[in-house]
Amino acid sequence: MNRFRKPLLFLCDSLILVVLSIFFSWFSLRYNLGDAVGQSLQISQNFLLLYGCTVLFQLLLHTYDSLWRYAESREYLSLLIAALGGFFLYEVLARQLLETVISFLLLTSVAGSWVLGMLLLRFMYRVYRSRVLYRRGGHQVPVAIVGAGSAGVQLLEELQSNPGSRYSVQCFFDDDPGKVGKRIRGVEIKGTIAQAKERLRAMDIQEIIVAIPSADDERRHQILQKLSGLERVRISVLPSTLDLIAQKPIRSQLRQLRIEDLLGREPVELDPAPVDAYLTGKVVMVTGGGGSIGSELCRQIARHNPKQLIVVDIYENNAYDIQQELRYHYGSKLNLRVEIASIRDRERVNQLFATYRPDVVFHAAAHKHVPLMEDSPQEAVRNNVFGTLNLVQAADAYGVGKFIQISTDKAVNPTSVMGATKRLCEIILQSMKGRSKTTFAAVRFGNVLGSNGSVVPLFQRQIAAGGPVTVTDKRIIRYFMTISEATELVLQAGAMAHQNELYVLDMGRPVKILDLAENMIRLSGYVPYRDIDIIETGLRPGEKLYEELLVASRDIEKTENDQIFVERQPAVTPEELRGKLAVLEAALEKNDPSVIRGALRMVVPHFHEPEEVNKDQGEEVVIPEQETDRPCSKSCS
């Protein structure tokens, strides 16, 4: 119908004038009104001239090009201006061209009625689209919009006018007291955001849309906390104001609530310029490049235009996935190589370094699942410790410029085999200080939202299945960050690294896992412990109630970025490292998990059994004053 929209509208306007002309001509002749009542032909000539003048102005002002389904005051004003312009032009031309001019009373009657008819025609079309087509669109989901600002009103207009929308907007909530009780397009603003939870309980609302794209993370966190707890009510949010600039339909930009919206802290944003300086035009290798962190590293590295990107991974499926993704986005612009290899294979590692001669290496390959490594400590030691040793020695031998190790908060005062092996990886890097032209650095951060094996996707799957949601202990707390934050930190650390530093991100306050589970259930529209139960399964082997980052330690210094810290650790001598590795090699030969675990306790400072650490905690977990491997000199405080 779009092809015929303008001709149809033009025809309808013409028919309105024809009907009005016939009526007013009959009326004028019948009651002998006006100066030109004697000749119906003369009246018709006047009406035709009036029609031509008005249509001319409508064409000049493009009123027939307007989409009246979206018309606002500007479109209606243009129509009125066109009508007035046509009337004035008619007055000038009629007195010059016609013998008889119709009376002013008749002119204003016809003109006013015609303009009113055109306005009514367009208004009825809008009502038809917003009401009739709206009902046909299957708007079966009653929804409330939080935020009666411009974004909320725009969202309402689109939902009401789009037949494909599945939402039926029932009410608004807004914190502006002057708006409460008013209506927008027939939808009432029921109250403030603080009143929303109470008032929505009495309404049949299935979904809430938070339409305040200008709200920062802290404000969004506060709003979501006020809305959480409603039974069977899902929550969606509009993205930030900058994302809305993309000019996509606003309804298509609704997203399900992300759990990072609940963390209540601003995402860490780092300056990309220093990263460009050491990645652009360089050969970059990523080990474990198919994993959660490794694949995101590859994505972000590709944006910095490396000379070549080498993805190394033992798991071919993950490696294939990131290969296809990068090829799709960059094609031949990215010089990409994917190598299937184990970092435990020293010869294969040396072959890769000899072939590609990387300038920068990001080492993300590791066995990271805590309970699994408790059952197979020999694999954790072979892969995490001796695999890292192979890479470090190759990086030194082949002149790598920078080598960045991905570490974890579980390496601080470890209580697990995985944490202990990752601490040994840091010690291996420390041992190279002053002995290599390669700059070695490690980056330590907490749990990554959405990574393979993390708690958030586990909770999402359990909620989708109807529960129960499982937590190992209701007291357990963890630090969280997004995958994007983690990888940006790693890249920034590479830019800062100069002398075997260990970098730590200030991740704000730790999050209680029980609170996380309860909020995820509520914001999925369910009631914890009634609709979906939460059960404790007991701490897993090697798991402690809290993790540490050492951001409160006296061994920590701020960098130029106030959210990134560097831990100045004393160097480890080559002899000390060789002694530690010899103990582990002897334990591996026996292939006895208990012997290997005992060896780790011997060589890793402050490696405790989790029971020793957890026994002192009460109902609320308190992170104790943190230990370090050895006292720090005044020069590093």
Q: Whose structure tokens read 């002149």?
A: 399
CA atoms within 13 A on the CB side of 596: 23
**DSSP secondary structure, 545-586, as one string:** S-----TTSTTEEE-SSTTEEEE------HHHHHHHHHHHHH
Beta strands in 132-191 (DSSP E): 141-146, 167-173, 183-184, 187-191
Structure-token pair, residue 113 = 């009625």
Computed from CA positions of residues 147, 148, 153, 158, in that sequence, does the dihedral angle turn out positive or negative?
Answer: positive
> 410 an active-site residue?
yes
C-alpha to C-alpha distance for 539 and 578, rounded to whole angstroms: 34
165 CA to centre of own chain: 23
Give the helix/strand (H/E) hosting 405: strand 402-408
The rounded distance, in Å, linking the Cα atoms of 418 and 323 is 28
CA 19 to chain centre: 57
- Alpha-carbon torsion 124, 128, 129, 130, what sign? positive
- Provide the token pair at 468: 């129960």
- Three-state SS for 176-245 is CCCCCCCEECCEEEEECHHHHHHHHCCCCCCEEEECCCCCCHHHHHHHHHHHCCCCCCEEEECCCHHHHC
**Adjacent-strand bridge partners of 443:** 406, 503
- Which of 410, 422, 544, 580 does the annotation list as catalytic? 410
* H helices present in 447-592, as ranges: 455-464, 483-496, 513-522, 574-590
CA 499 from centroid of its chain's CA atoms: 35
What six digits make up the tokens of 488?
């940006």
C-alpha–C-alpha distance, residues 240 and 377, integer Å: 45
First-to-last C-alpha distance (Å) of the chain: 75
DSSP for residue 532: B
Query: How many residues are there in the chain?
Result: 637
Active site residues: 410
